[in-house]
Structure 1
């Protein structure tokens, strides 16, 4: 199923896994002019490189994928609706002149993309509540505007609900990976989609950031799709066991 604002792969199943990729696409509708070099649409400022291919490979009976269908420069779904970065005027040192909008223009774009994206995702989660949401993102090995090193291969983010994260971090470390706990940034500062759809209703979620140089080609995407599939199975099983034992 595809709309202007999202793409659904597979069939959502109650008690299954739903992979959510807010930044899966670099698509810019023909009637939206961002005023940037088109080459930038292949960079991290426009898309979470590699995540769509991983999500697609994870789709199987019991696992579906919900993908954003416009570039994060058009509308960043993983932001609060009133956040300046929801339609950024600048990203990692690049000006986005097409996002200098009036309040009316901003409201119209939100009504076209942001609002229906989140309304439809909320409806899906009500109708087919998963055992686990995998909120999947990727991060650049380094920002042009920051010289802080990013050595982690994968990061695990969370806000108030740490249940899935506390299972995932040691499991990923046991695979020999360099794991960032609340890296390359904290989920307590940036966790908008899961704050909206998971935390208020107690749906378990796992927010994962994979370093983009590891998933920029087919081989890396296949490897990490397998890793994420195994991780989700482990986390969902542990959460189910804890639930039966009355643990939180």
Structure 2
């Protein structure tokens, strides 16, 4: 089977929603160091290589919202599609205490190859999906580890990230805060904006409603957990969109 840098599902689904998953896979394409970054399989299964559980949530959420979904098919350690092209962390050489052997001596030509083969095709496809509707709403699904090495445990179950546009995220955070069993982080565990990141490129630049959702990865290990979170998030997103001035009748979630 020919390698593909991304996958899309439901491109013909009709609603304004678009679900993205920038760190869906830990795949290392064959042309990158023979298909290996020189890491142990255990490291490639960690959060440093991709966002565990995020792809399953993204697919289930897209079904629930009757929306298209786009998922990357390359490890964030190969090249990170949620960074600007000039970001110094675009290709990581050290992440959470782990040295990335295949990236230690990566040069401009190697990075350009990865940009052309992986990063740019993903963003081109994302841009086309986002442009299919006049009022696209982008929801980007990520996951985070409960504890980084040498750091205290993170208390949040879910984080909602944003830059300056709070039209969707503010009502979404307020809605989540009503749930007694959810500890929600506002711009936690990360800040909500990096220049040139995926939301900046496809959401903020076009004044599209957007939210980046981070789920703690130990809560979305199984397919059942991923589906349950997606089904829980879908009506919250619809309600938040209603508060943002998007008629809920146009974004009513479907059964997942």
Same-fold call, TM > 0.5? yes
Alpha-carbon distance change, 14 to 217 in structure 1, aligned in 2, over 3 angstroms: closer
Q: Which residue of 2 aligns with 1:116?
A: 121
- CA–CA separation in structure 1 for the residues paired with 2:193 and 2:14: 28
SS at match of 2:168: helix
Q: Which residue of 2 aligns with 1:22?
A: 22
- CA–CA separation in structure 1 for the residues paired with 2:102 and 2:129: 32
Corresponding residue to 1:165 among 165, 169, 175: 169
Deviation at 1:238, TM superposition (A): 2.3
Deviation at 1:182, TM superposition (A): 0.9
Corresponding residue to 2:42 among 32, 39, 43: 39
1:141 to 2:146 alignment: yes
Alpha-carbon distance change, 78 to 12 in structure 1, aligned in 2, over 3 angstroms: farther
- CA–CA separation in structure 2 for the residues paired with 1:119 and 1:3: 17
- CA–CA separation in structure 1 for the residues paired with 2:216 and 2:135: 26
- CA–CA separation in structure 2 for the residues paired with 1:126 and 1:59: 17
RMSD of aligned Cα (Å): 2.1
Q: Which residue of 1 aligns with 2:251?
A: none
Listed as ranges, the gaps of 5+ residues in structure 2 are 248-256
After superposition, where does 1:169-208 map in structure 2 within 5 Å? 169-176=173-180, 177-189=182-194, 192-208=197-213
Deviation at 1:132, TM superposition (A): 1.6
Q: Give deviations 1:151-178, integer Å, cap 9, x for gaps.
A: 0000111012111110111111112210
Q: Is the Cα contact below 8 Å between 1:35 and 1:98 reproduced in 2?
A: yes
- CA–CA separation in structure 1 for the residues paired with 2:61 and 2:125: 21
Q: More helix per residue: 1 or 2?
A: 1
Deviation at 1:15, TM superposition (A): 4.3
Deviation at 1:14, TM superposition (A): 5.6
Q: Which residue of 2 aligns with 1:11?
A: 11
- CA–CA separation in structure 2 for the residues paired with 1:87 and 1:237: 39
Scaled by the length of structure 2, the TM-score of the pair is: 0.87
Scaled by the length of structure 1, the TM-score of the pair is: 0.90
Q: Is the Cα contact below 8 Å between 1:17 and 1:232 reproduced in 2?
A: no
Listed as ranges, the gaps of 5+ residues in structure 1 are 243-248
Would you identify which runs of 4 or more consecutive aligned residues in structure 1 move more than 6 Å? none
After superposition, where does 1:216-235 map in structure 2 within 5 Å? 216-235=221-240
- CA–CA separation in structure 1 for the residues paired with 2:126 and 2:3: 12
- CA–CA separation in structure 1 for the residues paired with 2:80 and 2:191: 18
Alpha-carbon distance change, 149 to 39 in structure 1, aligned in 2, over 3 angstroms: closer
